[in-house]
Structure 1
């Protein structure tokens, strides 16, 4: 009963703000990966370059450049996975010492039961954990891509060369999709932390995250460069 009484400190506005954040996370991910043809996202534009990369790889000798680029991509996923793991540890440590967090909140005139702060931190940890799992899967997919790349012959007349290069390209794109999903998870975890300032803070933080991601995917200078006409 005491736990239920403490949870009653959450208002209807809190529920609306959480639904808004989680719903935006799911919907934004779908729109970015499946954009309308009239407004292609940056992620989808780069996917076409990934396919071309694998095709050009067939006749490239040696393939040190391709191996270096793939290694760099894997290192990026590994670094972010490690960062997420540290963040998860920090979040769990904060929950286990929520009394101190409550004391800081009281100093900021944000007094609330301990369970309230634990739930708010758990929301951010949900996104961070999802991002961690996405980065791990992305790293594994880049590994699969590397294996398939190594099986592609340098002989463009080899009937297996192009199909295998195309398989490598699709694996590369799938790995990038998981990586991008992990990045979005980090963005939304930061937005979730704004709940510590209350439901209005969460609504504002979520809206800022949505606006930033929409701009970077659909209205950024990098997107304009990718769309620039080539001779």
Structure 2
């Protein structure tokens, strides 16, 4: 059986739901990283806070608190990378044993599709998880770069290299966070892709729900409202 013949095993609704999932994943990522003017996403707001963090780090002595923060961020990326790797292994094992999956699906949904169909559906989940794993690993590496740059910031705030080095550390930190967020989004859409096992309608619904959840968290959440609040200036800030 050729690939063309195998594609006919999927209905137009299956292909449309798959296109919706992939396009939704690409669109929501682009919209979060390129928000409309005057309506920043949480990721954009947090980038400004990361820049402020590095400016405060120059003035903080000792900088143990900052080192602990970066260490915690690296631990989070390592945890999710490990979880993604385990999930990938489970998915690959499932691809090699789709007979049981097909039997369960036939009992639950009265669907007697060939094993190839189930393999493709599981492979889609594995592909999203693989993308998430690569993003988490790169984020972990970048947070390591950030730690090195932070260590290179002079202790004397009057040093001409102090704030430029801190700005470099901030941008690497932001890049690491961007990769981490991309990995999280890929994980969310991997969970949405699991719904394809229940049919095209379930996949389309899961894709729409995932996009709606991500959009709300980035553009209409309570945490975003808190980040947008402007704290009152202290007397020292007003005098300056």
The question of a shared fold, defined as TM-score above 0.5 by the shorter chain, is answered with yes
Q: Using the alignment, how far apart are the partners of 1:157 and 1:43 within structure 2?
A: 31
Alignment of 1:97-176 (within 5 A): 97-108=97-108, 109-176=110-177
Structure 2 counterpart of 1:14: 14
The 10-residue stretch of structure 1 (2-11 or 173-182) with the greater mean CA deviation from structure 2: 2-11
Report how far residue 4 of structure 1 moved.
4.8
The 10-residue stretch of structure 1 (30-39 or 5-14) with the greater mean CA deviation from structure 2: 5-14
Gaps of 5+ in 2: 233-240
Q: How does the TM-score come out when normalised to structure 1?
A: 0.97
Cα deviation 1:16-44 (Å, max 9, x = unaligned): 11111111111111110110122110011
Report how far residue 139 of structure 1 moved.
0.3
Q: Using the alignment, how far apart are the partners of 1:179 and 1:62 within structure 2?
A: 28
Report how far residue 14 of structure 1 moved.
1.1
Q: Using the alignment, how far apart are the partners of 1:229 and 1:166 within structure 2?
A: 22
Q: Using the alignment, how far apart are the partners of 2:139 and 2:69 within structure 1?
A: 15
Q: How does the TM-score come out when normalised to structure 2?
A: 0.94
Report how far residue 7 of structure 1 moved.
3.4
Which secondary structure does the structure 2 equivalent of 1:186 belong to?
A: helix
Which secondary structure does the structure 1 equivalent of 2:37 belong to?
A: coil
1:35 matched to 2:35? The reply is yes
CA RMSD, Structure 1 to Structure 2 (Å): 1.1
Q: Using the alignment, how far apart are the partners of 2:106 and 2:4 within structure 1?
A: 22
Q: Using the alignment, how far apart are the partners of 1:228 and 1:38 within structure 2?
A: 14
Cα deviation 1:77-129 (Å, max 9, x = unaligned): 00000000000000001001111111111111122100000000111111110
- The alignment covers a number of residue pairs equal to 231
Q: Using the alignment, how far apart are the partners of 1:2 and 1:206 within structure 2?
A: 29
Structure 2 counterpart of 1:208: 209
Q: Using the alignment, how far apart are the partners of 2:4 and 2:167 within structure 1?
A: 55
